[in-house]
Amino acid sequence: MVEQRRPDDGAAVFPGPDGASAFPGPGDVSAFPGFPGPDGVSASPELDGAAARRGPEGGSGDSLWIEPTPAEPAPSWGEEQAVRALLHRAVTGVQPAADALARIQRAVPARRAHRRRVRVGALAAALVSAVAVPTLSSMGAFQLSDGSTSTGPVPALSSTSPGTGSAVPPSSESVAPVPAPGQGQPGSTSYGGGSASSSSAPPSANPTGSAPPSAAGSPTGVPDCGRGDLADGGTTALAPDQTGRVSGTIDVLNSSGHPCVLVQPGSVYAADSSGSPIQVVAHVVNDPAGSLLPNPAAIPALPRVMPAGSRYQLPWAWVPDQSCPTAPASPRASASPAATAAPASPGPAATGAASSSPPPTSPSPTQLPSTTITLSHRPLYAGSPVGTFAVTNTCPAGRLYVDPPLVGQ
């Protein structure tokens, strides 16, 4: 239908001259309908009506409106009515679109379905993640090799080695997983070279052990490396450089006499002599340990099968903070007596093996107190640490950088 506006719409808002007498203020009635319009519209009946309403006050109301009222009194009833009428008049021509209801009627079920889909999708996503995350983590996000997902969890429960003590609880230290190789997918294709030559170990009644491990097939039949299978292969370190950085490698040896599958590369952790944790981070190309460690992207993936007698190496570098004096009093690195098997080298023994040579030069007054940094490697996240090493007389603030494991020589 058409909004047919009557010419007397505006005038009808106010009951007329008798109604004007009820307005509290003289200027109120001239509020909106009677604003001075252009000359061309002076013939409009509304303006006539407004002028009639204005009546005896005439045009005197204008000056009242210009004056701002600081106290902001409540708007008068007449003005409110005027605004009300004005607002309603202004939108009388606004009509709904012809298809509005049909559109809404179509859209409401669609929106409901959409909401339902979103809810169901969120629920499904939550379910999937609830299932997938434990599965993935049990598969080992830090796994060196692929495909060995059916090997089950790390034998953490069965790896309680008697008598080792594993003195430093991991919770008091900063434990970081050994970084995965940055190059491509972990696979067994990189297996070869020196490691292949070392696979001449006797198969030791393991029929699959004689299979060339370089084959990409899954090493079914080869047992997982247990904690007792891996031993300390000796830890080496270079002398500290000018800025006190120390680098070296932790070697882990398959001492079991048979090939085994390395399910997890394990973790690296570090602590200072008071037991406070030291941050362990994965080495990247441009970090402060840059020149000391090989580029992690260039390190090939470790083969999954460790032949008997083979070893892998974990490159590490200790970098004191910039706040430490740049020419420290020759922090000395001393290898722990780690040539023996793992149970023989717990953490405290290594710390005790720190060299007793005193710092030769007097430290500067601003030098931080020197301490001993102990780093250790647990090959399978469990058991006693195998590659324990101490950096003595170094600045206590710093970071330990580690690389993905290399095939040992």
Partner 1 sequence: MTDLAVVHAVAVARPVPVRRGVAEPEMTTSATDTVAGASVDLLTTTYQAHYRALLRLAALLLDDLSSCEDVVQEAFIRVHAARRRVREPEKILAYLRQTVVNLSRSTLRRRILGLRLLPKPMPDMASAEEGAYDALERDQLKTALQSLQRRQREVLVLRYYADMTEAQVAELLGISVGAVKAYGSRGLAALRVLMESGNG
Q: Which residue number, 86 or 281, has a Cβ lying nearer to partner 1?
A: 86
Cβ atoms of 357 and 325 within 8 Å: the answer is no
Contact between 91 and partner 1 (CB under 8 A)?
yes
Contact between 68 and partner 1 (CB under 8 A)?
yes
Closest to 376 measured CA to CA, from 318, 324, 320? 318
Closest to 373 measured CA to CA, from 324, 311, 313? 324
Q: Which residue number, 80 or 241, has a Cβ lying nearer to partner 1?
A: 80
Residue among 72, 171, 205, 286 that touches partner 1 (CB under 8 A): 72
Single out the segment in contact with partner 1 by CB under 8 A; choices: 104-112, 117-125, 234-242, 266-274. Answer: 104-112
3-state class of 289 per DSSP?
coil
Cβ atoms of 336 and 390 within 8 Å: the answer is yes
3-state class of 212 per DSSP?
coil
Cβ atoms of 183 and 300 within 8 Å: the answer is yes
Total site size for partner 1, rule CB under 8 A: 62
Single out the segment in contact with partner 1 by CB under 8 A; choices: 62-70, 155-163, 317-325, 326-334. Answer: 62-70
Contact between 66 and partner 1 (CB under 8 A)?
yes
Measured between alpha carbons, how far is 199 from 221 in angstroms, rounded to an integer?
16
Closest to 378 measured CA to CA, from 195, 169, 185? 169
Contact between 156 and partner 1 (CB under 8 A)?
no
Residues ≥6 apart with Cβ < 8 Å to 45: 7, 8, 11
Measured between alpha carbons, how far is 185 from 154 in angstroms, rounded to an integer?
22
Give the nearest distance from C-beta 21 to partner 1 in angstroms: 18
Residues ≥6 apart with Cβ < 8 Å to 151: 224, 261, 263
Q: Which residue number, 31 or 329, has a Cβ lying nearer to partner 1?
A: 31
Measured between alpha carbons, how far is 376 from 389 in angstroms, rounded to an integer?
6
Q: Which residue number, 14 or 381, has a Cβ lying nearer to partner 1?
A: 14
Contact between 111 and partner 1 (CB under 8 A)?
yes
Contact between 207 and partner 1 (CB under 8 A)?
no
Residue among 21, 77, 107, 126 that touches partner 1 (CB under 8 A): 107
Residue among 18, 39, 105, 286 that touches partner 1 (CB under 8 A): 105
Contact between 46 and partner 1 (CB under 8 A)?
yes
Residues within the interface to partner 1 (CB under 8 A):
1-7, 9, 12-13, 31-32, 35-38, 40-41, 44, 46-47, 62, 65-66, 68-69, 72-75, 79-81, 83-108, 111-112, 115
